[in-house]
Amino acid sequence: MDQGPYKTIRDVSGKVSRVIRIGTRKSQLARIQTDSIAAKLKELYPEVTLEIIGMTTTGDKILDTALSKVSPLLIVDLVVHSLKDLPTSLPPGFTIGAILKRENPHDAVVLHPQNAGQTLATLPQNSVIGTSSLRRAAQLKKRFPHLDFKDIRGNLNTRLKKLDDKEDYSAIILAAAGLKRMGWDARISQILEPEDCMYAVGQGALAVEVRARDTEILEMVSVLHHKDTVLRCIAERAFLRTLEGGCSVPVAVHSELKDSQLYLTGAVYSLDGSDSLKETMQATLSAGAERVEERVDEQVQRVGVTAAKIWGPDQDSAERLGSGLAELLISRGAREILAVARQLNDAR
Ligand code: DPM
């Protein structure tokens, strides 16, 4: 009988000695996300001691470089991220060891209290909508030409305060998932359906980043993987990687997995949404015929994800679906649309 991964961190006397260190940013959302993963690990591995390390200003800076230069994983064992903030390829030596069940991936409208009862469609001409997401602005400008879009920055608390305390914005657009995690569901006045605004790659899913060679931790967190979310997100991330889009390009997706069919819709936009390319493709996955692979193989990563316990050929199908869809859009001029968008945005 497999006693579970934590047996591997018992010392010679049989006592569990390992302390797992979890790094976190200081924002309320980061703390909530980290705490939710810590609670799950504590439930699965009650013998393990978890230590949450709030990163100081310097640590925050380290975390903010998205692991591009210095990694907090040199001082902690795992870091919890919003998957959508993680690049499609991680620096060598790091991997996403778990992707958890996705929250609602859609974007949501949060209205200024004085606009209660309105929707984006009914807000008056030239109402100002706050978002710094090129993806959201591009789609919504096209769909709701009567609205004006303005940047809004800062963490979720800051943004909500900027909305409520002043008259600068009629509404702001945020991910429903973040709002829910903050306990601010009541502020969601409208969920944006794909016809209005498709979501970002990985939006709504939490990811656990670990050292790629730390097999103990990899084993331990691998049970947190949610299969359907993993397959959808591998397809989405492969789409973004093949387009060579970073986290700040007007690229949007929509994915679904039902009856062993994985559907991916992907789109690229010019900054004002006037130019766009959108297509849907699907792939057939194994209908429960998979068998579980025995051990975590730290060598196998797909778009930065290690998921040894999920049937490899299905992950390959998902990855091919994403890259295939991107290639189709590239053949129709997606790279050119994104290059212009990038240039204009850099020049702003
Ligand atoms: C990325 C984007 C934004 C975040 C770009 C995008 C939104 C930036 C903005 C890549 N990361 O979505 O097109 O509105 O100016 C972010 C949020 C969450 C993770 C907040 C949000 C929480 C939701 C989740 C910021 N990253 O999008 O409202 O876990 O997906």
291-303 b/e (C-beta count within 10 Å ≥ 16 → b): eeeeebebeebbb
Q: What integer pLDDT is reported at residue 1 of this predicted model?
A: 34
> For the residues 201-215, what does the mean pLDDT come to?
96
Note the pLDDT tens digit of each residue in 248-270. 789 999 999 999 999 999 999 99
Q: Is the C-beta atom of 175 inside 6 A of ligand 1?
A: yes
Taking alpha carbons only, the member of 155, 160, 168, 236 closest to residue 201 is 236
* Whether the Cβ atoms of residue 26 and residue 60 lie closer than 8 Å to each other: yes
166 CA from centroid of ligand 1 (Å)? 22
| Mean pLDDT within 145-154 | 96
Which of these is catalytic: 11, 64, 85, 165? 85
Atom of ligand 1 nearest to the CA of 136: 13
**Ligand 1 atom with least separation from CA of 84:** 10
Q: pLDDT tens across 269-312, in order?
A: 999 999 999 999 999 999 766 665 555 555 799 999 999 999 99
Q: Which of 155, 203, 233, 348 to mutate to test the pocket of ligand 1 (most atoms within 8 A of CB)?
A: 203
- Tell me, using a 6 A CB cutoff, whether residue 82 lines ligand 1: yes
Separation CA 201–CA 234 (nearest Å): 9
Chain segment 68-93, per-residue pLDDT in tens:
445 677 789 999 999 999 999 999 99
| CB distance 321 to ligand 1 below 6 Å | no
Q: Where are the beta strands (DSSP E) in 162-250?
A: 171-175, 188-191, 206-211
Q: What is the CA angle 228-177-131, rounded to 5?
A: 125
- Is residue 8 within 8 Å of 219, Cβ to Cβ? yes
Residue 25 near residue 52 (C-beta atoms within 8 A): no
| Average pLDDT for the chain | 90
- Report whether 169 contacts 162 (CB < 8 A): yes
**Amino acid code (one letter) for 242:** T
Rounded to 5 degrees, φ, ψ at 21 are -105, 125
For atom 23 of ligand 1, the residue with the nearest CA is 178
Active site residue 85: yes
**Ligand 1: which atom is nearest the Cα of residue 105?**
30
Q: What is the distance, to the nearest Å, from the Cα of residue 318 to the centroid of all Cα atoms in its chain?
A: 17
Quote the CA–CA distance of 310 and 332 in Å, as a whole number: 33
Tell me, in angstroms, the distance from the centre of ligand 1 to residue 84's CA.
7
Cβ of 138 below 6 Å from ligand 1: no
The pLDDT, as a whole number, for residue 60 is 47
> Among residues of the chain, what percentage have pLDDT more than 70?
86
Q: Which of 3-12, 144-153, 271-280, 314-323 has the lowest mean pLDDT?
A: 3-12
Distance of CA 44 to the CA centre of its chain: 24
Closest CA to ligand 1's atom 27: 175
Cα of 313 from ligand 1 centre, angstroms: 31
